[in-house]
Structure formats: C-alpha cells, structure tokens
Chains A and B, each alone.
Chain A
Amino acid sequence: MSSDDLDYEKLGLRVGLEIHQQLNTSHKLFCNCRTVLEDEYKMTLERYLRPSISELGEVDIAALFEWKKGRKYIYRISTNSSCNVEADEEPPHPINDEALKIAIAIAMALKSTIVDEIYVMRKIVIDGSNTSGFQRTAIVALGGILEDEGVTIQTIAVEEDAARKISEDPEQVTYSLDRLGIPLIEISTGPDIKSPEQAERVALKIGQLLRMTGKVKRGIGTIRQDLNVSIRGGTKIEIKGVQKLELIPLIVKYEAMRQLNLLKIKEELNRRGLTKEQIISNYIVKDLTEIFKNTKSKIVKNGIEKGSLVYGIKIYKFKGIFGWELVPKRRFGTEVADYVRALAGLGGLFHSDELPNYGITEEEVNKVREALNVSEYDAFVLIVGEKEKLEKAIETIKDRVLMALDGVPKETRGALDDGTTKFLRPQPGAARMYPETDIPPRIVDEKLLEEARKLVPESPEIKIKKYMSLGLSEELAKEIIRDPRLDLFEDLVNKYSPKVPPSIIASTITNTLKYVKSKGGDISRISDDDIEQIIKNLYDGKISKDSITEILLEYTLNKDLSIIDVISKYEILSNDEIEKIIDEVIKTNMDEITKRREKAFNIIMSKVMGKVKGKADGRIVAELIKSKLKNLLE
C-alpha cells in the first residue's frame, strides 16, 4: 500500500471529535479541593475494582476486560489536592455551579439546546483511573453547530477528570489523586468531518472557543482530543488521548489507511475462499519447545531458560497476511501482537512472514513447518511464555485472526507519537451508565443561565476587530487569537495598557516566544507569571521594550537564574550611565571620528548599543550620540 494521498471522499471518510478540556474552576467538580496538580503525597491506598452485575446478568465487555486482568491499583493521596471524596471515602458534594456555568456558556456559543435539568450519571470505568469504578458525567446541552465548518455538535457534557497515571505494570497501576475530579467539558461533534485537515481545524476552532471564555486550563494535558474515525465498509474506531493538535491529520490518515488495508485483507481472504470454520478446524497448536532447545535466538533462549514454553500455531491459508503492511511500520502481525500483549500479557509473537529472523534459523523454521504441517499457503505463529499466558494467547490469536474475515474489529485504540495507533481494549457497550444517586438533579434555572450568559465568548471575528482597534496588525490579531495564552494577553492588556501597547504584549506572547524557541531556548520554562513580570517591569519603566527578547533568551538558556535575576541585569541605564559609555566609545574611536566626521555616527551607535545590550532605548542613545558628536565636531 502506498502512502500516497488517499481520496477521502471516495473512501467515505467520516470523523468525529471528542474534545476534553480542563476547566479552571476554583475547586473540583464534586468536592472542595483545589484544581492544581501536585506531586507531594504522604499516603497511598491499595484498591481492587470488580464489575457489578447488571439486571440482565451481563457484565460490560470493557469492564470485564479490565477485571480479568485482576490488577491492583495504588493511589497516591495528594496532600493538598485530594480529600475523602477522591479517595472514594465520602459521597460527592453537589455539582460545582462554576463548571456548569462555563459549560452552559460554551453551549450558548455553539447554539446548543440546554437541558432543563442536569442529571449526573455514573459511567463504569474500571481501569482504576477512577477510585469509584465510574466516572461522573452529566449532559448539559444537546445539538449545536460549529457554523463556519458546518460540523454539528452532538453533546456537551461536564465530567470529572480521571486520576493521573504515574506508572503501570501487568500486576499494578499507580495513580495520583490530584487530577481526579478536576472539571472537564466534553464536546462531541457529529461524524461530519470529511478530511484529516478539517479534523485539525475543527479541533483548533473548538479549542480556541474554549480558551476565549478565559476559564479553561492551559498547558500539556489540559486538553485532550479523542477521534472517532471510519471509512465506508469499516468500523467507527475510537482513538484516545491525542494531545498534540498537529498530529490529528496524520492519525486520521493512518486510521483510514489501516481500515482500508484491513478491508483489502478481508477481500483477499474471501478471494482465497477461506471460511471461519476452516480456520478453526485447521487451527493446530503444538508445544515446540523441543525444537528451540539450542536456539541462537536470544529472546527465545532467555525465555526457555526462565521456564517458558514455545508454542507454534498453524493459521490455515494465511500466508502473506501477517506481513501485510497496514500503515508504515505496522503490519497485520503487529495488530495481532497488540492483542496478545493487551489480553494475554505476552511480550509479542513471531510469524512466518518475518522468519527466519531474530536469530531464528531457516532450519528451525522448517522444523516448525513440519511439526505443524504448514503448507506453502499457510502461515504460522510462534509464542513464548508461561503456560497460563500461552493458553490465553492461543484463544486471543484465534479470535483476532477470525475477525480478519469480517474486516475492521470494533476497538478503542491509543494514539502513539508517530501518528500510528495501537489496540487498547474492546469498545465498551452502551449499557454502562446509571444515575449517580448521591447527587440531586440540578435544575437549570434563570439565575444559572443569566450568569452563564456573562461568560459566553465573543466570536473570533469580533475579537480580531477589537484587537485591531487596540493597534494590533491583522496578522498579529489572528496570531494571538490562535494562541493558548489568549486569556493572559487579555489579562495583561487590562492591567498594563495603554502605557504598554497591546501590540507589544501580543508579540511578546507570540513572535518573541517563537524566536526564543528557534534559538534553542526552553520555552516550557516560561510561565504566565514570568511574562507578567516582564510586562510589569516595562510598565514601571524599569526595562526597555528592546530588552524583552534578550531577557527571555537568557532566562530560557540559563536555568540557574530566576526571571527577577535576569530582569535586573537588563534594567534601563540612567542617562548619566549611557553618556559615560558613549564618552568611552568616542574616546577609543577618535581616529574614525576625525576621518569620517558626522558619518562616524553609525559606527559609534552600533558599538554603544553593543555595550548597553538592550538596557537603553535606542532613540535616547541615538540622540545623546548625535548631540555629543555635534559638540565635538563644532
């Protein structure tokens, strides 16, 4: 499969987004803890979760999946950012009105229909990320539209953020409780997005709208996008945890490509006339440890030394399928290996399309073929591990192989940094929500609506016009609108303009930071407070606007200095001090001056500016030099 551009219209690409944004409320959604992440903890809790049985005797498939792992969950009790509510030791308090107001304001901006009474639901999640075993979530509004993209909104909900994962291994997962309960707004769009680029654009626009309320959190992990992607004949696949906006187009493209190739595999298997019954009745499993007793393959050898067994499995008429590349660097075999890792706890598998390799020799491969009676049309798989895990893996591989005949299995996948995705778990069924009976329903009354109206963000067009009237160029206005620090900009303009022109504040936040980054500065070090310090010093006349870039560069390149330290190095020089420098430069350059007379100004100016390094306003320096030269030459 080439990675040439796909014809998305022909493929019938449909993408929906789910955007989760943390709200910057004074306290959490269901308790009075602050909404600040914190690494400090003094205690931990150990817990287990088990799915509850429903009336129909059915246990949710995703819930059961986690339960079968039998994992222990360890929670770090964050000292200041968690209480008995996060520890699941106290019933939730009534829902935070501040969060509701923000969500309603967003709903108003998106022309959604606000419900008349809000019901908090429990959504079963038993991967440990919620101490209760469910996430509390409530729909605030239905419908709506992102007008300029023609993309519909399905629901707007508020929900509690999950606990923050610290570490994970097959036996246990460690979480911090600091993040649990921070209010999130969840905006789900309809599957109306038709191209990878549009997906990014829609995410950007919704993110922008959210930031324009001035009530959302900023920084890594505060906004998360989930994608729902399908193509015609494929399946709606949930892709979780996309944190970088720029990655969205690639993820969508790869997912379309993956589904297309899975459909092609299905076609190919049909062409071969393969049926599920044939695969099952020819599914031969054998203990082949004996063949690998003296293997040179390190992975296999290490396994056997630790008491692992090597099993071979014949997959009837599957030649070439395991090696089929779905997206760059991921083959059908990788998909099956993901299942084995997630569901059976094995490290992975070897398949016949990639062997001999990894130290497994031709001779060993031939012995395996013989033992399993593998013909030239068949494939085989080798798995290494403890007996119990192998038993699970045998079933898992069979299940996944059979799914290939149906095309694209329904999955929840996780986004990886290179734009590809991997299997996380089967998609949860719909039947995993029930009311949170500890929280009374909240009537959406006129008072709540009234207060929400005050938070409705202005449209970007109106904002751009407003900023241009403050003296920003159109380009800069558009840039600041797109910037995550938009609310900081507004805050600083309120506090420090007109003495500090808004255009300087805007370009500091946008262009200057970009420049500093291009020069190798670590801009993650720059906090809002740092930027405010600089603007404040500019306002107080202590520094010159010309020194902003230098200050930020030095601050981001030299991690030992505080912003205050750096700023003090750039404090404006008094006129006396500047004159002293000028006198010195003139003294050492008398030859040039006598030779070039007035034309020596440029040389003197550049030398003086080099010495004051942004600690003086260029205009003042120029005037002082001019008058001194004039005096000297008269």
Chain B
Amino acid sequence: MLEGYRGKAYEILSKLNIEVGDLIEVRKGDMVIKGILLPSYSKDEKIIVIKLDNGYNVGLSIENLSEIKLLAKASKKIITSEEISPKKGKSEVKIISTGGTIVSKVEYETGAVRPALTTEEIIQFLPEINEIANIEAEILFSILSENMKPEYWVKIAEAVKRAFDEGNNGVIIAHGTDTMSYTAAALAFSLQSLQGPVVLVGSQRSSDRPSSDSAINLLSSVILAKYAPFGEVVVNMHAESSDTYTLAHRGVKVRKMHSSRRDAFQSINDKPLAKIFWKERKIIINRDDYIKRKEETKLDSKFDERVFLLYYYPGLKSEILEFIISNFKIRGMIIAGTGLGHTSSEYVEIFRKATKDGIFVGMTTQCLFGRVNMNVYTTGRQLLDAGVTPLEDMLPEVALVKLMWVLAHEDDLEKIKQIMTTNLVGEINMRHSLDLFPRWSHE
C-alpha cells in the first residue's frame, strides 16, 4: 500500500517494493536518514514522508535524494491492551454513535486517529463510566456532521425508540457539533413523548488530545441520561471554557454560537434545563418547567424536505426567490428576516402569491435573540397582509426543521400555520426576561 502517494514518488517507491510502514533509509547530500515510510499527506507529489525514530515526521523531496533503500518490511504489531471490561448487567444507558469522534484512539506510529466506538473501547477511554451506569454502545453510522440529512434523523429517532423499548433509562447520541442542533430539533419533534432524556453530545476539541472536552462531556451525559428527571431532547456540552460543568440545553432552543470554543453551545431566548457537575457527579435542575419522563416513548418521525431557508440581505434579487419557488416546488419557506421580521417591501407580492398557492411562509429574525413582531412597522404589516406567518422567538433553523416535520403531517395551510405557531416541545418561549441576553465584554 502506498496510501496518498502519486506521481514520481509513487513510481519510485513501488519500483523498490516499498510500502507504507516499511523501514527505509535515504540519503540527502551527506546525510543518511532512516525511518518508517508514512502515508503522504503532502500537496506536493515529490514529497515522501518519513517518521524518524525520535517520533518526528519529516518530508523529503524524492528529487533531492541520492539513494533510497528498503531496510525492513513492516512488521504486523500484535495488539495487546489492558482490558477494562464494561460492567455486567442490563444496559441502563445506550450510547448511539452517528459519527464525529467523541472517543478516538491515536496510532502513534502512523499518526492515524481512529474512532473508538464499541462499548469496550468507550469504557477503556472512560473507565469512570463503570461507576455510574451500565452502558451499551451502538454504531448507527459514521458520517461527518456536515453531511447529515433528514433521512438520517429518522434513523436516529428510530434507534432512540428502540433503546427506550429495550429498557434503557436514557439515550446518548454522539454527534458532530456542526449540525447537532438541527438533529436535536428533528428528534424533539419526532419524539414528543419520551421515557427519559435523549442527550446529544460531541466535542469541540478532538478526543485524541489530552485537553479534549469529550471525556467530561460524555461522562456528564451518562450521569444526565441515567438520572435526569426529564423526557426531553437536550444538547449537553461544556458550559464554560473551563472544565467546571456542562449544561443541558433544550434541543429546540440551542445553537452553536462559536466556531471553536468548548462553550460554543448556548441556549438562545431560553435558559438551560440543568447544570451537570462531572466531578461531583451531580445534576442541578435549573428550572421546573421541563417535560417529565413519560410512560411510553412515541415515535412519529417524518420530514418533508421541500422547504427553503431564506437569509434575507439588502439587494437580494427577487428573481432568485421566484426561481426557487417555481423550480423546486417548495411547500414552505422560513425567512431569517431583519430586525423584528422584515424583508424589503419589494417582496410583498411574491409572498402574497406564494401563500395564495398554498406555500407556507414563516418569519424569524436573523438577530437570533428576541422575538419577531410585524405590527410595528408598515413593511411588517404589509408582509402579514401578504400571508407571512410570524414565528415568535423560534430560531430560524428550528423553525425550518419544524416546518419539515409539520409539512410531512399536514396539507392544509391554515392547519400548518396553526401548528407552526403552537409551542410543541418548548421551541417557543412567550416570555423573555431581561437576563436572556448575554453580556458582552466592553473592556
């Protein structure tokens, strides 16, 4: 195998019967360099990558080497590991992996990072779990979060239902963070009656590094899944940059608000349901209006993908909008409008036509914080008159996922409007107190 190699380097290496993992010796000028050939991850096809015996990798151009020698073929390592077995007994918490690397192993020899997803591997990574709950892991699929699709939401929802039917106290879903809040919303609408918490968890620092947030996030998720009193879909991630505690955010009110920080996930227009202190193994319930665990888990997971999320901007061409509506046969549209819920008044007639044709048009705000109110300005009133539905304080993405779910269940526009404006699982918060807005630093 000459993984990653191409062009000249590939040609020379394969002629010499050298493969990745072999011990080779090369000469550059006076210098003799010995090491293990690694897969190439260079953009330059002349570069070969060698791991020296001090652990460093270096790249050498095949053109600068006067000699390349195969010293020894790769030896197959016997994998021996100290086995820490999962606790025996009936599973209490089910961990469903969908991708991302909440748990991973590093192969120091090649530098490869491989997800570790079996029950045994998870326990080996985080032996403390044995002190909390019996777990069972299931690898549902392994896809990057940005490649997530509504059809996968359905599969995850079905797996959650199975896990509760099997008698688990709670379910953990290991998920990439990029689209985690979309999946959370999809599960929340699909599973409106739950026997226990469904905890989505991920990591912002990959789990192959000692500073990863994954261990604390996962550990506190196990605590939460087993003991939390609610039957809700939540996202459980670091609350602060420090490793102090995690927050269980309501799945329909949470958003990834930073591209890289550990505490990227924050509740918007809402307060988190609970704080989880991993060290003390303690849950502090933050509010009493959570949805309680139900007797039975009911699954109703259907999504209609004929929708569109329009992020309005000054100068948006109305032709684009008309093209999308007519060509893609969409059944509904969510607008992330400006301020209290506006677009330019130029679009009023397009929206009037769309709603007349039975297309749902819902308004949210690109401010994210706060509620839409289309009665304040003329344009808002015109849009209302054109049939646009204000969606209170729903986040644009949550409104979109909800619309997909509603459209899969209803045809009648008035019914659709009514469900879209009804609070089903906490996605609409009718009361905003002053402290629901973050304080930014002004120093």
Contact = CB atoms under 8 A, between A and B. Distances in A.
Contact of A54 (B33, B58, B107): B107
A121 B55 contact: yes
A434 B112 CA distance: 8
Contacts of A431: 55, 108-109
Contact of A45 (B55, B113, B209, B242): B242
Contacts of B287: none
A126 B64 CA distance: 38
A84 B260 contact: yes
Contact of B210 (A52, A54, A142, A155): A52
A119 B210 contact: no
From A90, A91, A434, A443, residue with most partner B Cβ within 10 Å: A434
B53 A434 contact: no
Interface residues of A, number: 54
A561 interface: no
B81 A56 contact: yes
Given A116-B59, A116-B61, A52 B212 contact: yes
Nearest to A440: B43
Contacts of B210: 49-52, 63, 124, 126, 132-134
B371 interface: no
A119 B57 contact: yes
A580 interface: no
Given A54-B105, A133-B209, A121 B57 contact: yes
A108 B261 CA distance: 40
B241 interface: yes
A139 B124 CA distance: 33
B260 A91 contact: yes
A220 interface: no
A565 to B, nearest CB: 34
Contacts of B31: 113, 142-143
Given A47-B243, A55-B106, A121 B56 contact: yes
Interface string B59-75: 11100100000000000
Contacts of B260: 84, 89-91
Interface stretch (B44-52, B184-192, B319-327, B357-365): B44-52
- Interface of chain A, main secondary structure: loop
A56 B116 CA distance: 12
Interface in A3-44: 42
B349 to A, nearest CB: 46
Given A53-B105, A55-B105, A132-B210, A117 B58 contact: yes
Contacts of A122: 209
A159 to B, nearest CB: 11
A591 interface: no
From A52, A131, A157, residue with most partner B Cβ within 10 Å: A52
A435 interface: yes
Given A52-B106, A53-B125, A117 B443 contact: no
Contacts of B30: 113, 143
Contact of B108 (A42, A91, A118, A432): A432
Given A55-B114, A117-B42, A433 B55 contact: yes
A583 interface: no
Interface in A102-132: 113, 115-119, 121-124, 126, 131-132
Contacts of B216: 48
A432 B243 contact: no
Given A89-B262, A434-B108, A42 B207 contact: no
Interface in B321-365: none
Interface in B240-256: 241-244
Given A53-B105, A56-B79, A132-B211, A42 B58 contact: no
Contact of B44 (A51, A117, A123, A155): A117
Contacts of B207: 52
Contacts of B82: 57
8 contacts: A46-B244, A113-B31, A118-B58, A121-B55, A124-B210, A142-B31, A430-B53, A441-B42
Given A90-B261, A119-B57, 20 more contacts: A46-B243, A47-B242, A52-B106, A53-B105, A53-B125, A55-B79, A57-B82, A58-B81, A116-B64, A117-B59, A119-B58, A121-B55, A121-B56, A122-B209, A126-B210, A133-B210, A139-B56, A432-B108, A434-B106, A434-B108
When A and B form their complex, which 8 residue pairs have the shortest distance between CB atoms, in order from nearest?
Answer: A57-B81, A133-B210, A117-B59, A433-B55, A55-B107, A113-B31, A116-B61, A119-B57
